[in-house]
Amino acid sequence: MTKTLRYSLMALAGCFVLMIGGAEARTWKISHVRPQGTAIDNDLRWFSDSIKEATGKKIRTKVYPASALGDYTVVQERVSLGAVDMACQPPSSAADKRFQLPYFPYMVKNWDQARKNYSPGAPLRGTVETLYAEQGIKLLAAWPVYFGGIALNTAPVAQGDPDAAKGIKLRVPPMKTFQLMADTTGYLGTPIPFSDAFTAVQTGVVDGVIGSGAEGYYASFRDVTKYYIPANTHFEVWYFIMNQELYDTLSPELQAKLSKVAAEFETRRWNAAEEDQKANEKRLADSGAQIVPISESEIAAIAKKIQSQVWPVVLKDVGEAWGQGVLDAIIK
């Protein structure tokens, strides 16, 4: 069976379910990438309980943790087609190269600037909403995760010098931005799907991971993380999305209730995220990882090199005029 035919059949199956039962007659599936009991899992279970109560059980959901419904790149396609109802996860540039832009390395410097740019009403938020809409996906909320870093299973080498060759092989997400960031700062980037990354580190295929942060490394990689470098590589945001056609089947009243609970879901996270990052760095340390010091001036030097050498390459990949327009609208 071809990939196109398989997705067509999934889409038809999703439409059939809606036709015979309606959006309110079944339990929606919510996918995410982290194990059960992690922060995102707990927040989505809060959402599930809250939306059930707010709608008088007219909207019922079930949370599927740990990529149980597939790798996030596949899940985004399935949300687009209606085979998965909802997900809270990173955007996939496999579906659209322009999704690299929200994850531009060293685009925002601190939590205050991040909140200004990733919240509703900001130009960047509007851009992301439009990209999802082109795939038949409704953006409900953002879930800020962390400023990223590097987790290693081997001793770091010149972590503050972007010009030094490290000889360390890193798993990078399947996004050009992360591949270039690793290669430009002296590492050897190797694209590996998230679902295979732990095994890759455990078996020595790679020496560490880039593309996540303390929360992700503690949740999914703490058993293979001996060192953590809080290099502020990028600002990670996951998006709470759902199939647009499913959303459109809801009455205006239910749409309003869904939007209200989703907005509260986002606000709760913004209020907790910065402290959660600090707590996860401590959890990593408590589990045996050494937190490797890196100064603000060293981070600034890395950022300068990334902005001058990586940004222009990725802008060509996503469309220079379009990408530069988005970057120019970033709120300082």
Using one digit for the tens of pLDDT, what is the confidence trace for 243-292?
Answer: 999 999 999 999 999 999 999 999 999 999 999 999 999 999 999 999 99
Per-residue pLDDT at 88 exceeds 50: yes
Give the residue from 208, 211, 225 showing the smallest Cα distance to 283. Answer: 225
pLDDT at 22: 54
What does the mean pLDDT of the chain come to? 92
- 207 CA to centre of own chain: 22
Per-residue pLDDT at 114 exceeds 50: yes
Give the residue from 240, 328, 246, 231 showing the smallest Cα distance to 24. Answer: 246
Q: What's the rounded Cα separation, in Å, for the pair 202 and 200?
A: 6
* Residues near 327 by beta carbon (within 8 Å), at least 6 away in sequence: 101, 104, 107, 311, 315
Q: pLDDT tens-digit profile of 4-25?
A: 445 454 555 444 444 434 556 6
Of 21-35, 212-226, 265-279, 302-316, which range is least confident?
21-35
pLDDT at 81: 97
Contact (CB, 8 A) for 33 and 75:
no
Q: What's the rounded Cα separation, in Å, for the pair 177 and 211?
A: 10
Q: pLDDT tens-digit profile of 180-203?
A: 999 999 999 999 988 899 999 999
Average pLDDT (234-239) is 97
Q: Which domains does the chain have, with CATH numbers?
A: 28-329 (3.40.190.170)
pLDDT at 94: 87
Q: What's the rounded Cα separation, in Å, for the pair 319 and 313?
A: 10
Share of the chain above pLDDT 70, in %: 92
Give the residue from 266, 30, 272 showing the smallest Cα distance to 140. Answer: 266
Measured at the CA of 87, the angle between CA 86 and CA 93, to 5 degrees, comes to 120
Q: pLDDT tens-digit profile of 128-163?
A: 999 999 999 999 999 999 999 999 999 999 999 999
pLDDT at 16: 46
Q: What's the rounded Cα separation, in Å, for the pair 316 and 327?
A: 13
If residue 277 lies in a helix (H) or strand (E), which one and from where to where?
helix 252-286
Per-residue pLDDT at 217 exceeds 70: yes
Q: What's the rounded Cα separation, in Å, for the pair 157 and 174?
A: 24
For residue 167, give the 3-state DSSP assignment: coil
0.75 surpassed by pTM: yes
Per-residue pLDDT at 293 exceeds 60: yes
Give the residue from 242, 200, 278 showing the smallest Cα distance to 39. Answer: 278
